[in-house]
Amino acid sequence: MDVGREPFDWVYSQSRGHLYLADSQDVRAHVASGYSGAPRYQNNTESEALVSRGPIPRGVWRMEPAFNHGRLGPVAIPLEPVEEKTALGRSGFFIHGDNSRGDASASFGCIVLDRKTRDLLALGVGQGIRTLVVVD
């Protein structure tokens, strides 16, 4: 996998909700599990084009520096598509935490991961590991 320019890339499996750290040979280490998409559409590849419902579309994304977002909470990491067509006409993607109920209903397409993992991602962004590849 030579998608990113860094020696490592983050890989998110859209259908499984798993986050991996992958090296340039695509050797992957599982880091965490989460979800993307509204409850009926979570981690469903066929729903990726559904605005405010489907999971984040497959493709290459760039992670921006994390910040405390008024609605999404602490360590919200903005995601920007490397190529505009990746977003399938959708926008506003982040990596953020679950809602206060913790009932896996906080996503309208964003990737939801626990705080410890978001802290790790934010640290990686600060070190230049900014590429997130979303796969099946």
What residue type is assigned to position 46 of the chain?
Answer: E
For residues 36 and 109, the answer to whether their CB atoms sit within 8 Å is yes
pTM for this one?
0.94
Instruction: Quote the tokens at residue 56.
Output: 């984040």
How far apart (Å, rounded) are the C-alpha atoms in residues 26 and 83? 21
Q: Can you give the pLDDT at residue 3?
A: 54
Q: Can you give the pLDDT at residue 6?
A: 63
Q: Can you give the pLDDT at residue 24?
A: 86
Q: Can you give the pLDDT at residue 4?
A: 52
- pLDDT 10s digits, 7-30: 789 999 999 999 999 998 889 999
CATH number at 8-134: 2.40.440.10
Beta strands in 3-112 (DSSP E): 8-13, 18-23, 28-33, 35-36, 59-63, 67-69, 73-81, 94-96, 111-112
- Which residue ranges of the chain lie beneath pLDDT 50? 1
Q: Can you give the pLDDT at residue 71?
A: 96
SS3 content of the chain, % helix, strand, coil (to 5): 15, 35, 50
For residues 14 and 36, the answer to whether their CB atoms sit within 8 Å is yes
| Domain spans in the chain, listed from the N-terminal domain onward | 8-134
Instruction: Quote the tokens at residue 14.
Output: 């859209």
